[in-house]
Each structure stands twice: as C-alpha cells, then as structure tokens.
Amino acid sequence: MTSNWITTRAWLLMLPLLIVMIAIIGWPLVDTVRLSFTDAKLVGTEGNFVGIDNYVKILSGSNFQRTLITTTMFAVLSVAAEMVIGVLAALLLNQQFYGRSVLRALMILPWALPTVVNATLWRLIYNPEYGALNAALTQIGLLDTYRSWLGEPGTALTALIVADCWKNFPLVALIALAALQAVPRDITAASMVDGAGAWSRFRFVIMPYLAGPLMVALVLRTIEAFKVFDIIWVMTRGGPANSTRTLSILVYQEAFSFQRAGSGASLALIVTLLVTVLAVAYAALIRKSAGAS
Amino acid sequence: MLKSIQTALLSATLLGAALASPAHAETKINALFMAQAAYSEADVRAMTEAFTKANPDVTVNLEFVPYEGLHDKTVLAQGSGGGYDVVLFDVIWPAEYATNKVLLDVSDKITGDMKTGVLPGAWTTVEYQGKRYGMPWILDTKYLFYNKEILEKAGIKTPPKTWGELAEQAKVIKDKGLLATPIAWSWSQAEAAICDYTTLVSAYGGSFIKDGKPVFQTGGGLDALNYMVDSYKSGLTNPNSKEFLEEDVRRVFQNGEAAFALNWTYMYNMANDPKDSKVAGKVGVVPAPGIDGKSTVSAVNGSMGLGITSTSKHPDEAWKYITFMTSQQTQNQYAKLSLPIWASSYTDPAVSKGQEELIAAAKQSLAAMYPRPTTPKYQELSTALQQAVQESLLGQSKPEDALKTAAENSGL
C-alpha cells in the first residue's frame, strides 16, 4: 500500500460526490457570474456583455445602500437578542426543576414551525384592528389606542426582529444547553466553595465551555439573518415605504419582478460575497478563541 | 390481379384510416389559475368539468397559485421551455407578455359574435398595441361600498357622488361620533394601493404616461395622491389602511367599523352574507365617485384574461377551452361571484336577481374603467409608485417630491 495509491483511491471514492457538487453548485455559480456581466432578461434574449455596468449601477444606487443598512440593522439586532435570550434560556433549562423536560420540548416548537406559519401568526398578533398585542397592551394600560405596528417605519423593523427572535432563539438555546451539559459539576461546586459569585462563576467557569459552540451558533445565525427573506415577505413585503426591505427582497424584485436577470445576478453575487466575508471573519475569530482557550 | 389491387387499395385505406388521427384522440392541456375568493378553485374545477363533458377528447390539468405568484410562475415556466397551455393574466401584464412573446396573438381567432357581444371596456384587458392576447374572463373594478345603517343614523340621504362629498359625509359621521375613522382602503405596499390610486387618477382626469414618459407627477396624478394624503391626515381614513389589503378592508367593513370602503365586486355578495357579516342587508354599493367638472364616476380596470402561451403545442384545444370558460352561458351561471363580460347579460333578470344594486353600479363603472399604464416596465413603475404612496402617507416626503422620485425610478 503506497501512500500514492491511498490518495488516488480517496479521490476515486470522492469522484461521484464531486461530480454531483459541481453539477448542482459549481456550474450554476459560474453561470451566475457570467450572467452578472450581461444585461440579460429573465425571458427571451441572452443579453449583451456590459462589463461591470451592473455592479457600478447597484453599488452607486441609493436603493442598495439603504437596503444594506436595513439588512445590517436587522441582522445585528436580531442575532444579538437571540444570543442573549438563547443563553439565558439555556441557563434556566440547565437547572434542576419540576417540568423541565416539558419546557424543553415546548421551547423547540417555534423553531420547528415553518417560517411562513410563524410569520402569519405574528402578522395576526400585530394586526392593528384585532391583534393580540394591541389588546394585551391596552388591557394592562400601556397603550391607550391601538397601534399599527407593521404600518409605521418606526416600529415595523423592531416588530420583525421580535418575530425573528421568537423563531430562532431556541436554536441558540439548544446549542448552549448542550455545551452547559458538558460542564463538570465538580468544577462549579469547587468554584462555589471558593466563594465565586454568580457572575464570576458564569464568566470564568462556564463561559470557556460555552464560547466555542456559541461562536458556531453566532456564525450560523448571522449568515441566515443576512439572507432573511420569507419572514419579511410574508409580514410586510418590505413596507411600509421600503423601511423593512432587505437585500434578498431586493434580489427577488430585480431578478423576478423586474425580470432583469443580469443585474439580479450581480446583486445576488454581491450579497454572497458579503456573507462569505462575514463567515470567513467569524471562522478566524473561532480559531483564535479556540487557540486562546 | 384486379382483386389483388382492390385488396391492396382496401388495406391501404384501412391502414391510412388507422394512422390518421382517430376521432377520440386524447389531448392534454395544462392551465394555470389563481386561488381566490370569487371564481374559487372549486368553481374553476366545476367549469372545467362541464367543458370536458362537452369535449371528451380534451383533458385539462389545473394548477392554482395565489395572485402574488401568478406572474412569476408564468414567466419562469416560459423561461424553462413552457409547461402551460392556458394562463390567467392580469390586465397590467399584456404589454410585458407581448413584448417578451409569452402569449400568442389571438386577434384572428376572435369571432364576430365575440367582438360585438363583449363589453367594449372589457377588451382593454387583453389588448396591447392593437393586438389581442386572449379573452377577458374576470371583469372587475373597484366600487364604493357604504354602510346604509350608518349613513341613515348620520342623516345622510344619498351616498356621495363626488370625492369631495365623500369627505364631507365622512366628516359628518366622524363629528357625530358614529365612527372615529369612517373610510377604509387597501393602501398596503402592494399592487392594491395602485388600484385605489388609479381610481382617483381617473376621477381627476390624470394620466400616467405620455409619449413614453411618466406624467403622473403633475395634474391628475398629483391631485389623486394629495387627496389620499389629506384623507389620511384629516383622520377621515382609517390609519391602518396603509397596511391593509382587500381582505382586511372587507373584514373591517363586515364588522361595521367602516362607513365607506373601496373594494372589488366580490365584496358585495360576501358582505351581504349573514353567516360571516355583521352588516348583511345593510350593504350599499355605488360607482366610485367623480370630481366636479372632471368626471361623474371613477373606476380602475382590475380585470383578468385567459390567454394561450406561445410555447403551447395545442393552441386549438387551448382556444376551445378559453372560449368555453368565457362563454356567456358559463359566465351567467357564475354571475354571483364575478359579473359577466357579455353586454346582454346585464339585462338578463336571471343574472341581476338579488344583486340589482350591484348591476346598476356596474353599468356605470364598467363603462368608465380606466387602465393602469400599459408598459412592459409596469412592475417597476408600480413598485416605484407604491413607495411614493407610502412615503407621502407617512409624511416622509411631500406628494410632489415622492412622485418625482417615482418617475425617476419608474424605469421609463
């Protein structure tokens, strides 16, 4: 058995998978890159080569810049909230108490429901005429008149972030809970004997176990939040006055509603590039933190 | 010898007959419809069943998508080599579909009876640059619905004839404390808002495009948006209108929380149904009002048509199916859901029975139907206008500035 043969055999075994991957991911990506330099329409003509025109138009347009800011706000705020709530929920569910397993099962529910169902439920909750949120806030005296949560630019994005958190914090909580289960009990017991308070216990004893898995959760959630489409499309379609329009909605409109496949492809590639940069930066962070611990 | 020739001829004839298409060849056609309230999926299936009973040699596969998915699905199917023979299309798409060769030009297939029998206004649904790309099927426009009981309590004798009167009457209702916000519209960031806007543009005698350039930033186009903003700011309009679609308007109206509402034909029989409506029997309907000195009524063309795709391999069977679906007999049978495209149906007592008020309004409104702009860039223009409407309502920009920006972003 020469090592050379082993290498060859490994590649041979990989070959079927490689062919499939190239067919379903590689080729469409190459074709998208090609499209992005043309003015092709969705139907009809192939389009002409226009160089970097599409990219210049998109990057200099106010639409793209405004949408990038909206998307970043949505991603940063919703992911930050999901991380905090997720960790708190995990710490709670890590305690010994009666009914813990029922609560754990319940917590998975929002995450297990399809996004469209979630979005429709929240739209009902936010309904300005008979929504549960208006009714609840009025009854406890926080509101005196019903409000149009998804109809005001000031509250629409926040309302969407809350709905997105509700759906996605369980994922963070699950990952964190799995990590917490791995913390040896004798270490936490020892730190209590040494007189560490709750905060220092969390910071110096539990956090090292949590850091790696939380980083993974952070990367997953950030990439997903950056590409958000369905929850917003169902709840506001990017309104009111485009205040909740995200990059994916912009791509959809460009490519399908306006049928400009060429600039739609450029826009999609710009978004892909942004997400890739984020993912690579995170990966470096994770490696660093793993090296540090 | 002779016999053998005879035999040969006979067998050739038989062979030829066997090879020629037999009388009952099965043709399969695929049709794309939308899932909606009037002409629901069950209705379309029932109509299609009647068609296949009469034409046993054709089978029709039906597919249903929500309105929001209809355009994209049609276009994507076309991009990937077809799949549908018959598609339902909205009045705003023929320009784009004709330019991109999505639909067949059926001008030659339309018979003299169709030309004379169908209401003239209905044809604009399927026309682009003098050619016809299908048959009108759902004839629809927005009417002004009103709650008779609330108007009576306010001491108002007749529903408004002008948009100015509508505002005055709404103010009376508001001042008497009958309703805080008497008018409901569908002004969500969607096509629905542009239908309401177009109705007002038609009242003010405005236009969208002239010589290929946008002209809605001044004149009637600007007056229409100003009216919307004034109505919203004065509190006569339900402020939640800016996130309503048609079904939200219907719900508010059916709960008795609106004195006036602009909506499509379908709301009439639904709001009059005691099963889901608190205002059954109190629903009034009139044409959307006009503007003094400019118009007596106003209406948007919200109709839809059935066309044959250019990739269809069975255009003849597809046309046969469309002819059946749009025939006067089929349309009269389902007139409670959607009013017929045939002029003579409106004097048919069987059609008007139980909805005389709606028919009376329809006679005026259907004749005044105003088209949304016919341009291949319609989707882009509409998206830009939706933004202008929303920004103006929210006070983020002045109507004239918002419309100027919309004109710049309209792609025209």
Question: Out of A130-134, A135-139, A209-213, B397-401, which region has the weakest mean confidence (pLDDT)?
Answer: A209-213
Q: Which residue is associated with the tokens 């089978």?
A: B59
Q: Which of B234, B232, B139 is nearest to B193 (CA)?
A: B232
Task: Provide mean pLDDT across the span A134-152.
Answer: 92
Note whether A237 contacts B76, CB cutoff 8 Å.
Answer: no
Is residue A221 predicted with pLDDT exceeding 80? Answer: yes
Among candidates B100, B189, B396 on the partner chain, residue whose Cβ is nearest the Cβ of A239: B189
The pLDDT of residue B401? 97
Q: Give the helix ranges, DSSP H, for A22-152.
A: 27-36, 53-60, 62-93, 100-112, 115-125, 132-139
The pLDDT of residue A188? 81
Task: Return d(Cα B74, Cα B90) in angstroms, integer.
Answer: 11
Q: Which residues in chain A touch residue B190, judged by CB atoms under 8 angstroms apart?
A: 237, 239
Beta carbons within 8 Å of B279's beta carbon, 6+ residues apart: B147, B149, B253, B254, B255, B256, B271
The number of C-alpha atoms within 13 Å of B278 and in the hemisphere containing its C-beta is: 11
Q: Which residues in chain A touch residue B252, judged by CB atoms under 8 angstroms apart?
A: 129
DSSP 8-state class, residue A205:
I
Chain A 121-150, residues with CB within 8 Å of chain B CB atoms: 128-129, 148, 150
Task: Return d(Cα B265, Cα B78) in angstroms, integer.
Answer: 31
Confidence band of A198 (pLDDT split at 50, 70, 90): confident
DSSP 8-state class, residue B138:
E
The pLDDT of residue B22? 45
Q: How far is A252 from chain B, CA to nearest CA, in Å?
A: 10
Q: Which residues in chain B touch residue A129, judged by CB atoms under 8 angstroms apart?
A: 240, 248, 251-252, 255, 257
Confidence band of A271 (pLDDT split at 50, 70, 90): very high
Contact between residue B335 and residue B265 where contact means Cβ atoms under 8 Å apart: no
Q: Are strands B58-65 and B27-34 parallel, antiparallel or unpaired?
A: parallel
Contact between residue A222 and residue A276 where contact means Cβ atoms under 8 Å apart: no
Q: Which residues in chain B touch residue A153, judged by CB atoms under 8 angstroms apart?
A: 394, 396
Contact between residue B339 and residue B359 where contact means Cβ atoms under 8 Å apart: yes
Q: Determine the Cα angle at B242 with ends B240 and B245, to 5°.
A: 90
Task: Provide mean pLDDT across the span A38-56.
Answer: 86
Does the CB of B394 have a partner CB in chain A at under 8 Å?
Answer: yes
What the block records as the tokens of B63 is 């597919």
Among candidates A41, A242, A258 on the partner chain, residue whose Cβ is nearest the Cβ of B380: A258
Ramachandran region, residue B170 (left: φ > 0; alpha: ψ -120 to 50; beta: rest): alpha
- Average pLDDT per 10 consecutive residues for chain B, totaling 412 residues: 51 48 71 88 95 95 90 84 91 92 95 93 91 96 97 97 98 97 96 96 96 95 98 96 93 97 94 94 97 96 95 95 97 92 93 93 92 90 96 96 95 84
Contact between residue B407 and residue B217 where contact means Cβ atoms under 8 Å apart: yes
- Across the beta sheet with B86-90, the strand order is B58-65, B27-34, B86-90, B304-308, B135-138
Task: Return d(Cα B37, Cα A181) in angstroms, integer.
Answer: 53
| Nearest chain A alpha carbon to B411 | A258
Chain B 173-212, residues with CB within 8 Å of chain A CB atoms: 188-190
Note whether A43 contacts B102, CB cutoff 8 Å.
Answer: yes
Chain B 230-269, residues with CB within 8 Å of chain A CB atoms: 239-240, 242-243, 248, 251-252, 255, 257
The pLDDT of residue A286? 74
Task: Return d(Cα A217, Cα A215) in angstroms, integer.
Answer: 5
Task: Provide mean pLDDT across the span A156-165.
Answer: 96
What the block records as the tokens of A171 is 């994922």
Task: Return d(Cα B90, Cα B381) in angstroms, integer.
Answer: 16
Here the contacts of B210-217 (C-beta below 8 Å, separation 24 or greater) are: B212/B412, B213/B412, B214/B381, B214/B406, B214/B407, B214/B410, B214/B412, B216/B385, B216/B403, B216/B406, B216/B407, B217/B400, B217/B403, B217/B404, B217/B406, B217/B407
Q: What pTM, to 2 d.p., does this model score? A: 0.88
